[in-house]
A and B are shown apart, each in its own frame.
Chain A
Amino acid sequence: MSLQRFVLKRGLITIPLLLGISLLTFGMVHAIPGDPIDFITLFTDLDPQTEMEIRAEYGLDQPVYIQYIDWVTSAATGDFGRSIITRDPVIDEIMTRLPYTLVMGIMAFGVTLVTAIPTGVIAAYYRNTKIDQASRVFALLGIAIPNFLLGLLLLLIFASWLDLFPILPPTDQGILSYDMLVYTLLPAITIGTGSTALLMRLMRSSMVEELDKDYVRTARAKGLPERTVVQKHVLRNSLISVVTVAAIQVAFIISGSVVVEIVFSYPGIGRLLVNRVGNRDFPVIQAIVLLIGVAVILANFVADVLYAYLDPRIRY
């Protein structure tokens, strides 16, 4: 199968998935006991005239399937209606916070790659030694520590005791300012620790598997320097399986950001979601949940395609 056909075939699978998650997010509001209008009007009593107008504005006078089609088609163009709480367009609320979460996510991903791959390689190369043991202990600790506890401890140590960071983020300076980028290191490290622990162990086991293969023995036998063997032969092959796991990290980083943004009072998407759940601001909740679902599905798609590109055996 050519790569194009694989991409097409894999892409076709995502379409029913995307429709499915849009149905789920839409159905969320209708799963709540009671009339959706109560959440829009916040349970105030209305005269029938105003109630009809509000129903018409939100399309609640239409049959459910038409409501769904309307919602999904306008969502596809980025129109999620207005927030019930602030009355601002939902898309504006999201767009002002999205850059913060994106920058934090990218930094967390960077932290993960920069620390996990070298340590995984070293642990595999010196397997069953003290170094390997230490990496295993670190992985166990990194997975078991709750990210909110780690975040609070980092704040306590670096912001409160050592005074290297402010306790609250300097949001007035914009996301790309130096101060904000430096501050973002703290949440990025917090999220990155958990995924580093996972990725490091995966890197190690995939590397151990490659090191045992015949071509490594051949490369060593023909007198290649150890450095070339590891870097040019083993590392490249073992990175292939790590690529797919990197996609899982996207989901991991998203869920991490929801909690960690609360710890650091960070003005991102996750904090917006949590705040609006408390207020039952469903247009915003639906939009964010849908965006996260789409992001994860696309990340999985990209990872599968990358994997097929790097390892042609997958396509068949």
Chain B
Amino acid sequence: MSSETSQRTTERGRIRVTGFDVDRVESRDPLSSWEPDLQSEEGRGRLEYAWKRFRRNHLALFGAATIGFMILLAVFSRPIQLPSSFPVLAGQTVQPFSLAPADPANQDVITGYREPTLENVLTWPPTGLYLFGADWAGRDILSRVMYGGRWSLSIGFIAVAMALLVGIPLGSVAGYYGGKVDELIMRIVDMLYAFPFIVLAIAVIAVLGRGYWEMILALVVVGWLPYARIIRGEILSVKENEYVTAAKALGSRDRSIIVRHILPNAMAPVIVQATLSIGTTVLVAAALGFIGLGLSPASAEWGVMLNVEQDAIARGRWWAGLFPGLAIFVFVMAINLVGDGVRDAFDPQGDQTDSDTGGLR
């Protein structure tokens, strides 16, 4: 248990310099507060220290706030009504707020719907309450960008969460047991790594077809690879520690050794990679939407919004594409700031300037 950091503490990395106040040293020393606790002390202490460092990183906090704001906008853009087949609260409106100025599907918010021609298409620039202008069908772009976050953002978070659920167990098994299992899993990882992220995703979509869950599955097939690799490498270095040998000698089962003793100490690089991956995943999902292999053209997913307007943008209706594009850009930027902050928080000694290569490969 780490205690409160006093005002007089000067911190340099992990070395703390304080006055010789015996009581305070005693209360801070992890050994003196040792209890027979089943939770891993080491893992929790590290998380706490990381959180403290993260809180001081203003840029990362700004990124986190931006992401929070975008999620709130997406959730509160339109009321959410549960489907009538839902087990609890069927047909009830669980989210009554509606921040979006117009219905994202409504076609005559500004001028009334007209068939878009080269002449009248230029007459829907941003005006008044409809800050971002209207798209080719006369729908309010601001409302669609807000509402579209529900697709773009949920794809990013769900796909990364599922990729973690696949990558961590496979990587743990490969690293812990070694031998043939390790060979098999890592050769599969090597093979899949031969294809660039988006090409592999396109191949999976070619097989599965288009759609929301199909796209998430495609992103998971590509997305689990880095976690398997990272966790395997970490486990290889962690499993030689004495405490693992001790746990084995005491007769712990393999599963509890992995979950309780090894994983907590191997998680830091996985958390960093996962954070950055959310940005990459949203970017690739939008790119798939843009090339017409993502969600249906009717949805307000940000990449799809750019896809249906691409000719119009090149011909001068910049607002139709700029705002959905900016939404992707701002989100990815914010995620990268948070990811850099998380990395610096876990590894304050590391060269901070290496951190801006993003989650790309």
Contacts and interface: CB of A to CB of B under 8 A. Distances in A.
B36 to A, nearest CB: 45
Contacts of A198: 357-358, 360
Contact of A285 (B206, B315, B360): B206
B194 A297 contact: yes
A231 interface: no
Interface string A104-148: 000000000000000000000001000000001001110111111
Interface residues of B, number: 50
Contact of A252 (B192, B196, B283): B196
Interface string B311-341: 0011110100110011011001100110000
Contacts of A146: 283, 286-287, 290, 303, 325, 328-329, 332
Contacts of A16: 187
B199 A258 contact: yes
A254 B196 CA distance: 7
B176 to A, nearest CB: 24
A148 B356 contact: no
A24 B356 CA distance: 33
At the interface, is chain B mostly helix, strand, loop or mixed? helix
B333 A296 contact: no
Given A160-B314, A255-B199, A278 B293 contact: yes
A268 B106 CA distance: 38
Interface string B168-201: 0000000000000000000110111011111100
A164 interface: no
B361 interface: yes
Contacts of B361: 248, 251-252
B356 A149 contact: no
Given A145-B329, A274-B292, A202 B357 contact: yes
Nearest to B355: A201
Interface centre among A141, A144, A161 (most CB of B within 10 A): A144
Contact of B198 (A136, A255, A282): A255
B121 interface: no
B247 interface: no
Interface string B51-72: 0000000000000000000000
A312 interface: no
B207 interface: yes
B204 to A, nearest CB: 9
12 contacts: A17-B190, A28-B206, A127-B353, A140-B356, A144-B279, A149-B325, A194-B360, A201-B356, A201-B357, A259-B290, A274-B291, A278-B293
